[in-house]
Amino acid sequence: MSKTGSVSEDLNLNICAGCKIEVGVGEKAVQCDLCNNWVHNACGSMPDDLYKLLVKYEKKKTGVKWFCNACEIHMGKVRMEIKVISEKQVKVELRVDKIETNWMDIKREVTELKNELTDLVKEKQKTTEMMSVKMDDKMGELKEEIGEIKRSYSEMVQDNNRMGGEGTGLVSNAPARAIKIEVNEVMEREKRKNNLVIFGIDETNDEMATRAKVSTIVNALGLEDSKIKYFGRVGRLVPGVSARARIVRVVCEDAETKRNCLKAANRLKTMEGYANIYMALDLTKVQQMQDKELREKLKEIRDVHKEAKINNGDIVIFEQNNRRVLYSLNQ
């Protein structure tokens, strides 16, 4: 860094930036590593110890740099900008790390959701298979009942023939009609097992309006309307004839949905706007007659047993958690 070499062709580079006097060979001076101007040690307030160190490091090619006062001001600004940029970079890196962490959390949550969805699909398939098996079992039971009825019919026909009933159409056809009625009743009950009927919905021939009303009722009860489907009005609307509104039949997805719906429907009478609406089982004519008979009998029995009630087709009372039948349709 001392001035020892030949004079540069650019004389301006050999002029001291401080005193504006030419730097002579052998004089103690340092060349700025940024602007390449020379500065006398005295003009640049350069201590001898610092000068010696710079000369030493220059010879060892360590890459140590020295800047004149003018360039040091600029380098200070550069350093400040670099510091600001570094701080911003640190913040950006922290944000990137946070984003990566959040992204990993999101990926983990997505994976967990996918696993849960897979489990739900498997559970749904399992439930569907179980329902299919139950349906097959129910159909098997129904077939056995029909088979038993057919066997009973065959035995009655044979007994009738042995008793000389052959040729008397009234006698021979009576069992057949009875069996046909019984078979039809069993099949009709099977068709209606998950049905409910709703009373009190305003009469209209606009099915869309009726569907909407059913959906409103189901939602008001806090149930899933996707599990309770509108089926239709019961009976025929006669134009010009004033009569009470026809009942509405709905089909529940399964027996549990039907039970939940009936249980929830007990709240309708206390809900504003639904006091005149109530739900009931979709009974066949035979079941309606039996239900009527049970209710009339219940009135008589309650004269003696106030706590009596209808339970599974019987009139019963519960004594110390024991079920005692007071009247049964099967008696």
Q: What is the mean pLDDT of residues 25-38?
A: 86
Average pLDDT of the segment spanning 56-78: 78
Cα four-point dihedral sign 74, 77, 83, 86: negative
User: Per the domain annotation, does 73 fall within a domain?
Assistant: no
Regarding whether 308 and 265 lie in a shared domain, the answer is: no
Residue 197: its pLDDT value, please? 94
Residues spanned by the domain of 35: 11-67
Per DSSP, the three-state class of 4 is coil
Q: Would you say the C-alpha torsion 75, 80, 81, 82 has a positive or negative sign?
A: positive
CA distance 160 to 149: 16
For residues 28 and 62, membership in a common domain is answered with: yes
* 232 and 213 co-located in one domain: yes
The Cα–Cα gap between 199 and 274 comes to 11
Sheet holding 322-328, edge to edge: 309-311, 314-319, 322-328
**Residue 311 reports pLDDT greater than 70:** yes
Do the domain assignments include residue 269? yes
Do 200 and 275 lie in a common domain?
yes
Look-up of token digits 């996918």? 114
Q: Is the same domain home to 314 and 233?
A: no
Domain CATH for 46: 3.30.40.10
202 and 264 in a single domain? The answer is yes
Q: Are strands 314-319 and 309-311 parallel, antiparallel or unpaired?
A: antiparallel
Q: Which of 29, 49, 67 marks a domain boundary?
A: 67
Total residues found in the chain within this entry: 331
Same-domain status, 197 and 277: yes
| 204-235 pLDDT per residue, tens | 888 899 999 999 999 999 998 899 998 889 87
Tell me the backbone φ, ψ of residue 290, rounded to 5 degrees: -65, -40
Inside any domain, residue 179:
no
Q: Between these two residues, 316 and 242, which has the higher pLDDT value?
A: 316
- Note whether residue 84 is domain-resident: no
Residue closest to 159 by CA, chosen among 142, 135, 183, 175: 175
Per-residue confidence (pLDDT) for residue 257, from 0 to 100: 92
- Is residue 288 domain-shared with residue 233, that is, in the same domain? no
Tell how many helices (H) and how many strands (E) occur in the chain.
6, 9
- Domain count across the chain: 3
Residue 250 belongs to some domain of the structure: yes
The pLDDT score that the predictor gives to residue 169 is: 47
Could you count the other beta carbons within 10 Å of the beta carbon of residue 268? Answer: 19
Sign (positive/negative) of CA torsion 316, 317, 323, 327? negative
DSSP per residue, 35-58: T--EEETTTTT--HHHHHHHHHHH
Same domain, 276 and 305: no
Mean of the per-residue pLDDT values of the chain: 81
Helix (H) or strand (E) holding 327: strand 322-328
In a domain, 168, yes or no: no
Are 309 and 272 in the same domain? Answer: no
Asked whether residue 234 is assigned to any structural domain, the reply reads: yes
Do 303 and 273 reside in the same domain of the chain? no
289 vs 9, higher pLDDT? 289
What is the per-residue burial (b if ≥16 Cβ within 10 Å, else e) of 77-87? eeeeeeeeeee
**Element holding 6 (H helix, E strand):** none
Domain termination site, one of 282, 300, 320: 282
Here the CATH number for the domain that contains residue 239 is: 3.30.70.1820
Retrieve residue 216's tokens. 């409103």
The answer to whether residue 268 is domain-embedded is: yes
CB atoms within 10 A of CB 196: 22
Residues 307 and 257 in one domain: no
Mean pLDDT across the stretch 110-136? 81
Note the pLDDT tens digit of each residue in 242-275: 567 889 999 999 999 999 999 999 998 889 889 8
